[in-house]
């Protein structure tokens, strides 16, 4: 039996959220390392990584919105 069938949808979202956050942090490290090298050839790659990082941030925000209920006071 696979793991996803044993977990409810909230648990699956929480695991996915952690994976995405880890990938976001890894991109931070990769971007920093490339910027530290200062090679002009890396600028295009840095731009792509930053775009991927922004996409991840949007996905992370969407998942957090699903997990955290919108409470109206």
pLDDT in tens, 17-27: 999 999 999 99
Mean pLDDT value across the chain: 88
User: Nearest 5 degrees, angle CA 61-CA 62-CA 65?
Assistant: 85
Residue spans per domain, the chain = 8-67
Rounded CA-CA distance 29/49 in Å is: 11
In sequence order, what are the residues at sequence separation of 6 or more whose Cβ sits closer than 8 angstroms to the Cβ of residue 31? 46, 49, 50, 53
> pLDDT-derived band of residue 2, with 50, 70 and 90 as boundaries?
low
Rounded CA-CA distance 61/38 in Å is: 31
Structure tokens at 46: 């840095």
pLDDT in tens, 44-67: 999 999 999 999 999 999 999 988
Predicted local confidence at residue 55, as pLDDT:
97
Predicted local confidence at residue 73, as pLDDT:
58
């Amino acid at each position: 039996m696979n793991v996803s069938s044993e977990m409810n949808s909230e648990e699956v979202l929480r695991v996915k959220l952690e994976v995405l956050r880890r990938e976001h942090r890894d991109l931070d490290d990769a971007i920093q390392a490339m910027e530290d090298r200062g090679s002009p050839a890396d600028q295009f790659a840095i731009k792509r990584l930053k775009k991927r990082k922004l996409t991840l941030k949007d996905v992370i925000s969407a998942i957090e919105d699903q997990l955290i209920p919108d409470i109206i006071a």
